[in-house]
Amino acid sequence: MRQISGLGAARAALLAIALGLFLTACSKDATYRDEAYVFGTRVELTIADLPQDRAHAASAAVLREFDRIHRAYHAWEPSELSSLNEAIARGESFEASAELAGLLASTRALARTGDELLNPAIGGLIALWGFQSDHFEARLPPQDEIDRLVAKAPTLDALTISGRRIESSNRAVKIDLGGVAKGWALDRAAQILHAQGVHDALINIGGNILALGSKNGTPWRVGIQHPRRAGAIATLNLGDGEAIGSSGDYQRFFDLDGRRYCHLIDPRSGAPAQGTASLTVLVTARRDAGLLSDVASKPAFIDSAHWRERLAAYGIEYGLRVGTDGRIEVTPAMARRLEFASDARPE
């Protein structure tokens, strides 16, 4: 039996990124790097081709926004989101911020595309498995409790969103935005950086990455973390506006009696998804690329037998899957973008 803390899991979840450390002075080719711990994971921000004082100010603005988002939409500590969940449980309507109402509307549409396999309304199941905590223990919840929550069938389709007013026809809806918040925050970071005059940056939120411009004229190069050992499976160059999202059973999990249970819950069974160790998607430059990269990896991770079809439903042709048996699968388009490590080859 193994107990994993949120901090240790976050460290394991990081993609191996080919980033330069601080380069001194304010020369044109300087690279500035900042980091923090937000969203239960490590955040890294690298800004290129900008004097250090301006890069520092832009980075600080992004990290302040990340902290605000984290506090506003925390699923189990006091927040606007937890207040909404409490109102839903009481059968009451809730006056949300325009931002939260818009995010929920966007997420609901994306959840429908994935046949509700990404289901932010199953916060009750996530809590039952012990994953709504910074520290969790290796234990199985009672099967009758799982069955009870699954039978209530909470989804975001139960929400009625009228402007800022939100209510639910299903009191079992308990929203957890852990599957979308990091990707949405990537897009917010890009907006802030552009407003600050930053055109070249790499934003990494625990393995969810968005690239802007280049690193002093060369592409941003990143690596895809191996789910079972240190180091990268493969590396690739990211173009301006492209995003990578990864879901894995190595991020938040516990092992019990020889079996791994991760935080990615299959809403059909109410249990952690099995069969996939990691699923990585690349989203080409488009509006909300960060959000889409975060969302699209979840249905593909959960429905491992049809992972390619799940990505295609979102219009994504770039994907890589590592099974719990160690088998590496990759779409043809993704294979053309990757440089694989010598000991990690797809079948």
pLDDT at 153: 98
DSSP summary character for residue 199: -
| Mean pLDDT value of segment 281-296 | 97
CA distances from 125 to 104, 139, 175, 226, 293 (A): 19, 14, 10, 28, 24
Task: Say which range, 1-5, 89-93, 182-186, 276-280, has the weakest mean pLDDT.
Answer: 1-5
Ranges for all domains in the chain classified under CATH 1.10.3980.10: 80-178
| Tens-place pLDDT, residues 87-130 | 999 999 999 999 999 999 999 999 999 999 999 999 999 999 99
User: Pick from 66, 16, 9, 14: which is nearest to 36 by CA?
Assistant: 66
Q: Identify whether the C-beta of residue 94 lies closer than 8 Å to the C-beta of residue 175.
A: no
Side-chain-side CA neighbours of residue 1 (13 Å): 6
- Segment 304-329, tens digit of pLDDT: 999 999 999 999 999 999 999 999 99
pLDDT digits (tens, 9 = 90+) for 130-154: 999 878 789 999 999 999 999 999 9
317 contact partners, CB below 8 Å, separation of at least 6? 311, 331, 333, 334
Upper half-sphere CA count for residue 166 (Cβ side, 13 Å): 31
Q: What's the mean pLDDT when you consider all of the chain? A: 91
First to last CA, the chain: 32
Dist. CA 161–CA 149, nearest whole Å = 23
Q: Would you state the pLDDT for residue 21?
A: 29
- pLDDT computed for residue 343 by the predictor: 80
**pLDDT at residue 5 is higher than 70:** no
The 10s digit of each residue's pLDDT in 41-89 is 999 999 999 999 999 999 999 999 999 999 999 999 999 999 999 999 9
Q: What is the 3 state secondary structure string of 75-94?
A: CCCCCHHHHHHHHHHCCCCE
Among 44, 15, 43, CA closest to 32: 44
Residues with Cβ within 8 Å of 188's Cβ and at least 6 positions away in sequence, in order, are 65, 69
Read off the pLDDT of residues 194-226 as tens digits, 9 standing for 90 and up: 999 999 999 999 999 999 999 999 999 999 999
Residue 209, H or E segment: strand 208-212
- CB contact set of 233 (below 8 Å; sequence gap of 6+): 223, 224, 225, 226, 320, 322, 328, 340, 341, 344
Q: Is 285 helix (H, G, I), strand (E, B) or coil?
A: coil
Residue with tokens 């969103």: 161
- pLDDT value at residue 344: 78
DSSP string, 152-178: H---GGGEEEETTEEEES-TT-B--GG
Residues of the chain with CATH 3.10.520.10: 6-72+180-340
Q: What is the pLDDT of residue 296?
A: 97
Helices marked H in the chain — which ranges?
A: 6-13, 52-72, 80-89, 98-113, 123-128, 143-152, 181-195, 289-302, 307-313, 332-335
In the structure encoding, which two tokens stand for residue 190, read together?
């890009």
Chain-centre distance for alpha carbon 1: 27
In terms of Cα–Cα distance, which of 325, 293, 326 is closest to 311? 293
Superfamily of domain 80-178: ApbE-like superfamily (1.10.3980.10)
Lowest mean pLDDT across 169-178, 222-231, 285-294: 222-231
pLDDT class of 29 with cuts at 50, 70, 90: low
pLDDT of 279 strictly over 70: yes
CATH class of 6-72+180-340: alpha beta
Handedness of CA 281, 295, 148, 258 (dihedral sign): positive
d(CA 266, CA 175): 15
Residue tagged 């975001």 (tokens): 156
Please give the share of the chain, as a percent, with pLDDT higher than 70. 91
Nearest to 194 by CA among 23, 27, 29, 61: 61
Q: Please give the pLDDT value at position 19.
A: 33
